[in-house]
Structure 1
Amino acid sequence: MGSTKRMTVSQALIEFLANQWTVDGIVRERTIPGVFGIFGHGNVAGIGQALKQLNVESPDLMPYYQARNEQAMVHQSVGYARIHRRRGTYASAASVGPGAANMLTGAAVATSNRLPALLLPSDTFATRVADPVLQQIEHPHDLGVQVTDAFRPVSRFFDRVQRPEQLYSIALAALRVLTDPVETGAVTIALPEDVQAEALDVPVEFLQPREWHIRRPRPDRDAIARAAAAIRAGKRPFIVAGGGVLYSDAENELRALVEATGIPVGTSQAGGGVLTWDHPQYLGGVGATGALAANRLAAEADVIIGIGTRYSDFTTASRTAFQNPDVTFVNINVAPFDAYKHGTQLPVVADAREAIVELTEALAGLRVDAGYAGRIAREKAEWDATVDAAFAPSGLALPGQPEIIGAVQQASAPEDVVVQAAGSLPGDLHKLWRVRDALGYHVEYAFSCMGYEIAGGIGVKRGLVAAGDDRDVIVMVGDGSYLMLNTELVTAVAEGIKVIVVLIQNHGYASIGHLSETVGSERFGTWYREYDGEARNFQGEKILPVDLAMNARSYGLDVIEVAPGASAIDDLKAAVARAKASDRSTFIHINSDPLIYAPDGAGWWDVPVPEVSTLESTQRARTEYLEQQKAQRPLLG
């Protein structure tokens, strides 16, 4: 019989996590390199004690890190996971009730983005010896239902350790899902506060180093043959590349494929970076927020080759992007759920890199015709010129967001990482940001979570530091999203984690304000204004006397305020250069005009407009909506 070690459930779990390793080819790294934790009565004597004990006995084995908000802990984990191509992530421990509930949004971010995050929310007493406890939710119809049950629909794995002996099977199952390229997302292990402190004799084998090898399944031979035949039969093939290309380390293989065949590429938000912006076959983002070049060719394509994309409504422009009546879909995806989308009869269920390699071989000798190649080059050149014009300084006292993006772009280094998630910035970045490095574009857009940016950016920087990479992380954020969750800046200051935050102050919600106009709601409720008691709204002219630069300064960051004026863009470039030269976190504040928009990319997003209304603006929007809706198609190809 093997030897055992007397430990609490929490001690056993933390030591187990400290010995898990992810192996992806020649890459081997810690699956869980650390734990974020905010302690309360539900976990201070369990997980908290276990982390303290390990910190005393072996401080490098499982480092503990503070956070200021439970949601932000998970955002940091997601940012780290993406920059590590899903090979590693952090665990996040929270107390009972509100602490646990605060992580729900983070769990949804992880799961919707198919990025791993391990959540350890505390739960009420399994024995119910103290019932109800502080922060417990009581349901007369089911006394077993608690806050942690809300994690079930937003997690890819959920279980509750109700008895100490359950820990082994639950922990192993959780790590299997966490490291599975198909199943990964939020993995939740609920820990009742009494069970956390209970002891058991833990087999030493459970605590030994364990490797989890990333599956890279090769495609079925016949599936590749059918896909290649369909592509060869097409005249205007077009690739939609998603995040799966990056998670598979397949950008080099994709480049080889498109250089051999001449097939053009458009990217989803998650796919940004699969090709550099100046590659001849790269036409920019595709879909609702895409570039005009990519959307024009996607509309005419007779074969759409989706690689590692889940085909969100933004990628398909709410099913208006692909207009060829005879379009065929070849979907390459490690997840069957995504490979079979749009009714395709040509799914290729495989790892992106392995599939691209075999597809390249199957397409040997194929080259798009000269006419199509010329069209690709002309569309790209035209769009590049459009972006150049959008970046050109206007000399306005309040520059538009496109100018601001251009200035940050020009002042940054090719390898720097831009981080964003919500508002008008993701759409403008998708169109305008010229990605120069595979990992240089980090936009969380599956959940598009306001407040993700700062915490996610810190997670990205953690990931880079862990990999020995000293490139800068530039968080671009609007005032609306900043106000949602900015307190994690304290974490950056406390640990000396350098991030550069560019705050674009437009006194409201720029993205939803613009959308509100298009659907006939006239920007109602989207401005940050003083409340007008007579009109009973916030639509007046009195801007709030809120000083976000002072807020950031109070956290301990270096702050650079770019004053409105004709030199604002030049001053912004200088500010970014100064921030890059510093070894401290820097907050750059610039005012913008939210009514200056990025160039039109001919994408559409389906947001239903009321059928009836007394507002003329809504009536006009309804007419336009019905006209746009005519372009939608079922995409059964």
Structure 2
Amino acid sequence: MKTIRLTMAQALLKFLDQQVLSVDGEEVKFVQGVMGIFGHGNVTGLGEALERGAGELTFLQGKNEQGMVHAAAAFAKQKNRRQIYAVTTSIGPGALNMVTGAATATVNRIPVLLLPGDNFASRQPDPVLQQLEVPSDYSISATDAFKPVSKYWDRIVRPEQLMTSLLQAMRVLTDPVETGAVTIALPQDVQAEAYDYPAAFFEKRVHYLVRRPAAPEAIERAVQLMRNKKKPLIIAGGGVHYADAAKELLAFAERFGIPVAETQAGKSAMPWHHPLSLGGVGTTGTLAANRIAAEADLIIGVGTRFSDFTTASKSAFKHHEAAFLNVNVSAFDAFKMDAVSVTADAKTAIAALQEALDECGYRSGYSEEEIDSLKSAWDREVDRLYTLESDEGLTQTRAVGIINDFVGPSDVIVCAAGSLPGDLHRVWRSAEPKTYHMEYGFSCMGYEVSGAFGAALAEPDRSVYAFVGDGSYLMLHSEFITAVQEGIKMTVLLFDNHGFQCIHNLQRGHGSDGFGNEFRYRSKATGRLSGPYIPFDFAANARSLGAASYTARTAEELEHALSQAKAEPGPVLVEIKVLPGTNTDGYESWWHVGVPEVSTGSKVVEAHEQMRKQVKTARPY
């Protein structure tokens, strides 16, 4: 047997460089490169291997460990999970900084390969710098923290273990159901140890994404359920995008006259102007979608995991005979909401279901006027929000409208947290698939700028815009510097509304007068953070990082800044000063949050009673 003598780290890269994913007969290189920050735990092992033998893998220098994972996840998400980046860090704090990013990827079912350094397997320099010592169990290290947020976890304590570990890692990374964060902890001494690896291990290896077909009996059960339902509603989730099923979904909806609502992950599956497109549904949904959802006698979930925002904490579906039909490649998600389940790839399942419904002559009971009336009313509401003026300054919905009118139909927007996801889910008008990139599985503050960098890496021919609040920007924007370093064009649209206004609104909506959520100076009179707003110059901050920047306080200034930003060759930040509290809200939706049963505030007690009433109207499971 022919062998190649390599260090474990060198063998790792040589293997990754030869992995290929085949989808519908088309092969693509699966691992594009490695994002990394070096420290003593990986620089002389994996760092040396990257320097001298990375093959076709690109190395990108990150600036924050969590930011790198977000960027890698966004890259994979924009690529429909068909290409990935690996991420490497040192041990200790460098590794632990990735845990939030790992959880974000796993919750969203996005493949990322994490390669943190680890303690010496030999334990000779014990304890090594940054080692986490657990006296009761000395086998535990900082990388054990990745176990609950990883879909696969391993620690390589002998160089030959790498072979079986990598094969299992690839199984998970290329699986449409089990995918998420894969963590392989690399003790720093083992990274540098050599082994005679079989040459065959480094040959081109093709992994096949096989579309799971729907079982005939599952389709039969689905048809039996549907044929007696006259008011169905399709809820399109992220699985529609990952399965490349947007065209099939559109054809299915048109064929049977079924309106379509979208989750945050599913948005842009339907063009906003289509007569059957109702927009977002649930807590951050449109009035049109929420009213149809309330009256629907059948909810058809396609590729959605039915989060509490999608279901408005299970209160959105009020018809006394409402039933659920779930099409999902994951059996775990397909069985949610006590549904009739079709566990299958969305693309193949929709086609099979359409054929079966054609045979029985199915058609929904909606009239064109019924759907058109609700949709037209909502379109008028969006037009109103897009033109909403205030003498005090620029409203948030007006700013969103200006941006929506400016960007092209193929441009990509990226967002994750704060009040912007609610506004964008409700009022953003997406015309083409994969132009709405929202991380709302974890709604992780700090994803936005890193995510935009990852999306721009994935789609270099599209313009990419990050929508980010001042709170999220302050939390994490380090990969903006990486975009400057790499010359990656992306535009950060920073909405400055003086704090964590989304949570401030939630707080006040449940009996509080507002506490601890705005960026204010501490008042000497009250002893609380109730003084004047802290004035930030985010444009100056961006310039100090090497990016172009502009500031907009009016609609006219924003229009000018967008035009200027588009002409810039590299990364740009547009600071948009918006009025707090001018985001969207309501539209016959609800979100269940815990409200104290006992409080000295009468408004809190009233809010608790209102919560109890709402809970009684929601589905128990």
Q: Note the C-alpha offset of 1:397.
A: 4.5
**Alpha-carbon distance in structure 2 between the residues aligned to 1:259 and 1:119:** 43
Match for residue 578 of structure 1? 564
Match for residue 610 of structure 1? 596
Q: Note the C-alpha offset of 1:117.
A: 0.5
After TM superposition, list the pairs within 5 Å mapping 1:468-547 onto structure 2.
Answer: 470-540=461-531, 542-547=532-537
Match for residue 550 of structure 1? 540
**Alpha-carbon distance in structure 2 between the residues aligned to 1:290 and 1:601:** 7
Amino acid at match of 1:360: Q
CA displacement, residues 314-346 of structure 1 (integer Å, 9 cap, x when unaligned): 1111010111121111111000100111222x1
1:50 is aligned to 2:54: no
Please say which of residues 524-533 and 181-190 is displaced more in the overlay.
Answer: 524-533
**Alpha-carbon distance in structure 2 between the residues aligned to 1:74 and 1:584:** 22
Please say which of residues 426-435 and 525-534 is displaced more in the overlay.
Answer: 525-534
Q: Secondary structure at the match of 2:596?
A: coil
Match for residue 591 of structure 1? 577
Q: Note the C-alpha offset of 1:215.
A: 2.3
CA displacement, residues 91-141 of structure 1 (integer Å, 9 cap, x when unaligned): 000100000000000000100000111100111011111111110111111
Q: Secondary structure at the match of 1:560?
A: strand
Indicate if the aligned counterparts of 1:520 and 1:617 stay in contact, CA closer than 8 A: yes
Q: Secondary structure at the match of 1:630?
A: helix
**Alpha-carbon distance in structure 2 between the residues aligned to 1:327 and 1:17:** 48
Match for residue 7 of structure 1? 6
Indicate if the aligned counterparts of 2:229 and 2:364 stay in contact, CA closer than 8 A: no
Indicate if the aligned counterparts of 1:228 and 1:359 stay in contact, CA closer than 8 A: yes
Indicate if the aligned counterparts of 1:407 and 1:570 stay in contact, CA closer than 8 A: no
Indicate if the aligned counterparts of 1:412 and 1:577 stay in contact, CA closer than 8 A: no
After TM superposition, list the pairs within 5 Å mapping 1:251-330 onto structure 2.
Answer: 251-330=246-325
Indicate if the aligned counterparts of 1:342 and 1:634 stay in contact, CA closer than 8 A: no
Indicate if the aligned counterparts of 1:15 and 1:62 stay in contact, CA closer than 8 A: no
Q: Secondary structure at the match of 2:384?
A: helix
Q: Secondary structure at the match of 2:32?
A: coil
1:236 is aligned to 2:231: yes
**Alpha-carbon distance in structure 2 between the residues aligned to 1:403 and 1:31:** 41
Indicate if the aligned counterparts of 2:279 and 2:289 stay in contact, CA closer than 8 A: yes
Indicate if the aligned counterparts of 1:119 and 1:189 stay in contact, CA closer than 8 A: yes
Please say which of residues 570-579 and 472-481 is displaced more in the overlay.
Answer: 570-579
**Alpha-carbon distance in structure 2 between the residues aligned to 1:284 and 1:628:** 24
Indicate if the aligned counterparts of 1:477 and 1:502 stay in contact, CA closer than 8 A: yes
Please say which of residues 620-629 and 488-497 is displaced more in the overlay.
Answer: 620-629
**Alpha-carbon distance in structure 1 between the residues aligned to 2:154 and 2:144:** 9
Q: Secondary structure at the match of 2:84?
A: coil
Q: Note the C-alpha offset of 1:27.
A: 3.0
CA displacement, residues 509-545 of structure 1 (integer Å, 9 cap, x when unaligned): 11001001012222200110112245232122x2213
Q: Note the C-alpha offset of 1:62.
A: 1.2
Q: Secondary structure at the match of 1:34?
A: strand
Residue in structure 2 matching 1:369, options 353, 365, 368: 365
Indicate if the aligned counterparts of 1:416 and 1:472 stay in contact, CA closer than 8 A: yes
Indicate if the aligned counterparts of 2:7 and 2:195 stay in contact, CA closer than 8 A: yes
Q: Note the C-alpha offset of 1:457.
A: 0.4
Match for residue 195 of structure 1? 190
Q: Note the C-alpha offset of 1:616.
A: 2.3
Amino acid at match of 1:480: G
Indicate if the aligned counterparts of 1:263 and 1:368 stay in contact, CA closer than 8 A: yes
Indicate if the aligned counterparts of 1:86 and 1:247 stay in contact, CA closer than 8 A: yes
**Alpha-carbon distance in structure 2 between the residues aligned to 1:77 and 1:27:** 22
Amino acid at match of 1:621: A
Structure 2 unmatched runs, 5+: none
After TM superposition, list the pairs within 5 Å mapping 1:359-398 onto structure 2.
Answer: 359-364=353-358, 365-371=361-367, 373-394=368-389, 396-398=391-393
1:125 is aligned to 2:111: no
**Alpha-carbon distance in structure 1 between the residues aligned to 2:602 and 2:394:** 31
After TM superposition, list the pairs within 5 Å mapping 1:76-95 onto structure 2.
Answer: 76-95=71-90
Q: Secondary structure at the match of 2:240?
A: helix
Q: Note the C-alpha offset of 1:630.
A: 2.4
Q: Note the C-alpha offset of 1:395.
A: 5.3
Q: Secondary structure at the match of 2:583?
A: coil
**Alpha-carbon distance in structure 1 between the residues aligned to 2:449 and 2:582:** 25
Q: Note the C-alpha offset of 1:20.
A: 0.5
**Alpha-carbon distance in structure 2 between the residues aligned to 1:394 and 1:442:** 28
**Alpha-carbon distance in structure 1 between the residues aligned to 2:145 and 2:366:** 56
**Alpha-carbon distance in structure 1 between the residues aligned to 2:270 and 2:362:** 20
**Alpha-carbon distance in structure 1 between the residues aligned to 2:597 and 2:285:** 28
Match for residue 358 of structure 1? 352
**Alpha-carbon distance in structure 2 between the residues aligned to 1:35 and 1:413:** 31
1:434 is aligned to 2:424: no
Please say which of residues 184-193 and 526-535 is displaced more in the overlay.
Answer: 526-535
Q: After TM superposition, what 4+ stretches of structure 1 lie above 4 angstroms from structure 2?
A: none
Q: Note the C-alpha offset of 1:370.
A: 4.9
Q: Note the C-alpha offset of 1:552.
A: 0.8
Q: Note the C-alpha offset of 1:400.
A: 1.6
Q: Secondary structure at the match of 1:460?
A: helix
Indicate if the aligned counterparts of 1:431 and 1:601 stay in contact, CA closer than 8 A: no
Q: For the aligned residues, what is the CA RMSD?
A: 1.2
Q: Secondary structure at the match of 2:21?
A: strand
1:206 is aligned to 2:197: no
Amino acid at match of 2:308: D
Indicate if the aligned counterparts of 1:393 and 1:569 stay in contact, CA closer than 8 A: no
**Alpha-carbon distance in structure 1 between the residues aligned to 2:535 and 2:235:** 45
Amino acid at match of 2:555: I
**Alpha-carbon distance in structure 2 between the residues aligned to 1:413 and 1:308:** 27
**Alpha-carbon distance in structure 1 between the residues aligned to 2:291 and 2:321:** 16
**Alpha-carbon distance in structure 2 between the residues aligned to 1:243 and 1:576:** 29
For normalisation by structure 2, the TM-score amounts to: 0.98
CA displacement, residues 400-448 of structure 1 (integer Å, 9 cap, x when unaligned): 2111110100010011111000000001100010011101100100000
Q: Secondary structure at the match of 2:414?
A: strand
Amino acid at match of 1:592: V
Amino acid at match of 1:546: F
Indicate if the aligned counterparts of 2:66 and 2:97 stay in contact, CA closer than 8 A: yes
Distance 1:370 1:264, change over 3 A: closer
Indicate if the aligned counterparts of 1:421 and 1:452 stay in contact, CA closer than 8 A: yes
Residue in structure 2 matching 1:177, options 149, 172, 181: 172
**Alpha-carbon distance in structure 2 between the residues aligned to 1:73 and 1:436:** 30
Q: Secondary structure at the match of 1:246?
A: helix
**Alpha-carbon distance in structure 2 between the residues aligned to 1:599 and 1:142:** 50
**Alpha-carbon distance in structure 2 between the residues aligned to 1:369 and 1:311:** 25
1:100 is aligned to 2:110: no
Q: Secondary structure at the match of 2:81?
A: coil
Please say which of residues 574-583 and 248-257 is displaced more in the overlay.
Answer: 574-583
Please say which of residues 389-398 and 267-276 is displaced more in the overlay.
Answer: 389-398
Match for residue 163 of structure 1? 158
Indicate if the aligned counterparts of 1:95 and 1:122 stay in contact, CA closer than 8 A: yes
Residue in structure 1 matching 2:550, options 560, 563, 571: 560
Indicate if the aligned counterparts of 2:419 and 2:583 stay in contact, CA closer than 8 A: no
Q: Note the C-alpha offset of 1:622.
A: 1.6
Q: Note the C-alpha offset of 1:618.
A: 1.4
**Alpha-carbon distance in structure 2 between the residues aligned to 1:504 and 1:215:** 42
Q: Secondary structure at the match of 2:534?
A: coil
Amino acid at match of 1:266: A
Indicate if the aligned counterparts of 1:218 and 1:350 stay in contact, CA closer than 8 A: yes
**Alpha-carbon distance in structure 1 between the residues aligned to 2:216 and 2:255:** 21
Amino acid at match of 2:290: N
Q: Secondary structure at the match of 1:383?
A: helix
